[in-house]
Amino acid sequence: MINIEPDISLDEIAEKYARAFGHYDRGLTSLDIHVRFYPYVGINHTIRVRKGSVFVRLAEICWDMGPDVHEALAYILVSKLYRRKAPKWARETYDSYIKSEKLVERSAADRKARGRKRISGPVGEIYDLNEIFDDLNTKYLDSTLSRPVLTWSTKRTYRILGQHDATHDTIVISRSLDTDRTPRYVVEFVLFHEMLHIVHPTVHHNGRRYNHTAAFRRDEEKFRYYTEAERWIEENVARLKRAARRG
């Protein structure tokens, strides 16, 4: 747990949630609201309603959020309970805080210290990610890229086919692609895309994050089967979704 005391008391934070509830439900008279900081990995906050009481858990690494950011977050979390859109000012205030260089660095350090990456290994039933990485590295990057940890995901997914985790120096490729129905060039394309995230790291500018810069896109389009791979993925989303749901 963090030993530094926040600038605002938990009771004061709870009052902000009471005001947010009042904004969305003017018929409420009183609420029993419990707020605490919790050692989540990274930036995560939750709000739950149980037997008439409200339980708010805030990411421990956000201990220094100012009163205005707490106010904004209260409106954001409560709006989700009511399935309403949070006010623009709340979203902008909170986004500005979590995208600050200070918090981005703190989150990365926290994930590295406490997070765990589930590894299933690079050798799948059909494709070997290590072998494909080495081939791509030679063909497109002059063998300049050091190989990160490569692994197939533990579960079949379809929304995210690949992910680069800079904190753990890991690239995860969806197990949904490790079948004889998936052309090799599709696996190559997804892996190459994630490799380019190492070549072209995220750029932070004016509080915003840019993951796919112009240079990133130019290099991505150098992949020989760029058009064919994108077309295959687009045409096979439904099949990948069915496979993922079957587990």
Per-residue pLDDT of 170-210, as tens digits, reads 899 999 999 999 999 999 999 999 999 999 987 776 667 77
pLDDT of residue 1: 35
Residue 108 pLDDT more than 50?
Answer: yes
pLDDT of residue 51: 81
Which tokens in the block code for residue 183?
């052309």
Q: Would the pTM count as exceeding 0.75?
A: no
Residue of higher predicted confidence among 225 and 4: 225
Question: Of 37-41, 43-47, 168-172, 239-243, which gets the smallest average pLDDT?
Answer: 37-41
pLDDT of residue 3: 36
Residue 242 pLDDT more than 80?
Answer: yes
What's the rounded Cα separation, in Å, for the pair 221 and 192? 11
pLDDT of residue 23: 92
What's the rounded Cα separation, in Å, for the pair 71 and 76? 9
**What average pLDDT does the segment 110-132 reach?**
79
Residue 219: strand, helix, or coil: helix
Which tokens in the block code for residue 59?
């990411």
Angstrom distances, CA of residue 238 to CA of 158, 159, 185, 231, 235: 9, 11, 19, 13, 8
Instruction: Please say whether the beta carbons of 35 and 15 come within 8 A.
Output: no
Residue 152: strand, helix, or coil: strand
Please calculate the CA angle 80-72-88 and round it to the nearest 5 degrees.
75
Instruction: Please say whether the beta carbons of 132 and 191 come within 8 A.
Output: yes
Highest mean pLDDT among 8-12, 126-130, 239-243: 126-130
| Mean pLDDT over the full length of the chain | 87
pLDDT of residue 114: 61
